[in-house]
């Protein structure tokens, strides 16, 4: 590990240490109780963007490039983090109400079944458009040399530039059923205050895995 990689190690090691102690864990739970949406913004802005920087490091040897757009990416990920928090609340309440008639799942098997169904509904309904938005935002930031000028935003043009082979052939058809549905089943077995945090970490894990795989196969994917 080179000296310039030390910051990444410190961030993830510090995060692990933060949740290892009851006192600091309690601080996180209090912050979540005060403003879960704001905390979700911060978690995705920091963790998901740091994950993209690590992916770039693996692919190119650098953490930042001219077209990376650090602040715009943090803003996009933060907004997506708030949306993900809202969607988690909606689906975690709505799916059990639909399937179990409003009753809380009783027993381990029912809880696992409920978590799986929540994950399936969420990943089939919400994940595809969210992944598309993230993909288009990456294109827009890169086209504008790391900036996000709203006055130049042209959704129809971005849709023409989208890599539909990548989106449909790989991200939707492979990562959703093989990674996101199983991973988010685990997510919905966790206490509510840790779900968005775990989802942000999953984005980093999937992105790093695919970055390593792409060295030999040329595959790439959006992390959600």
Inter-residue contact 31 to 39 (CB < 8 Å) = yes
Inter-residue contact 209 to 55 (CB < 8 Å) = no
Whole-angstrom distance, CA of residue 3 vs CA of residue 9: 10
Of the chain, the end-to-end C-alpha distance in Å amounts to 27
Taking only the tens of pLDDT, the chain with its 224 residues reads 555 666 666 666 666 666 667 777 888 889 899 999 999 999 899 888 988 888 888 888 888 888 899 999 999 999 999 999 999 999 999 999 998 887 777 789 999 999 999 999 999 999 999 999 999 999 999 999 999 999 999 999 999 999 999 899 888 999 999 999 999 999 999 999 999 989 988 888 877 766 666 554 444 445 44
* Alpha helix ranges (H) inside 2-44: 6-20, 22-34, 36-43
Whole-angstrom distance, CA of residue 187 vs CA of residue 44: 15
């Amino acid at each position: 590990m080179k000296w310039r990689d030390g910051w990444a190690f410190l961030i993830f090691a510090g995060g692990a240490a933060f949740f290892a102690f009851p006192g600091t864990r309690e601080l996180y739970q209090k912050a979540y109780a005060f403003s879960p949406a704001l905390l979700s913004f911060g978690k995705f802005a920091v963790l998901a963007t740091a994950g993209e920087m690590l992916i770039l490091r693996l692919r190119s040897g650098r953490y930042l490039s001219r077209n990376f757009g650090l602040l715009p990416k943090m803003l996009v990920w933060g907004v997506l983090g708030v949306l993900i928090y809202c969607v988690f609340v909606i689906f975690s309440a709505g799916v059990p109400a639909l399937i179990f008639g409003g009753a809380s799942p009783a027993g381990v098997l029912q809880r696992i079944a409920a978590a799986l169904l929540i994950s399936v509904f969420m990943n089939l309904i919400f994940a595809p458009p969210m992944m598309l938005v993230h993909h288009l935002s990456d294109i827009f930031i890169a086209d504008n040399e790391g900036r996000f000028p709203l006055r130049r935003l042209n959704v129809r043009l971005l849709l023409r530039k989208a890599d539909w082979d990548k989106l449909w052939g790989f991200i939707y058809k492979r990562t959703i059923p093989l990674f996101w549905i199983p991973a988010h089943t685990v997510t919905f077995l966790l206490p509510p205050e840790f779900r968005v945090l775990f989802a942000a970490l999953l984005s980093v894990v999937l992105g790093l895995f695919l970055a390593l795989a792409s060295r030999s196969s040329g595959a790439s994917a959006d992390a959600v």
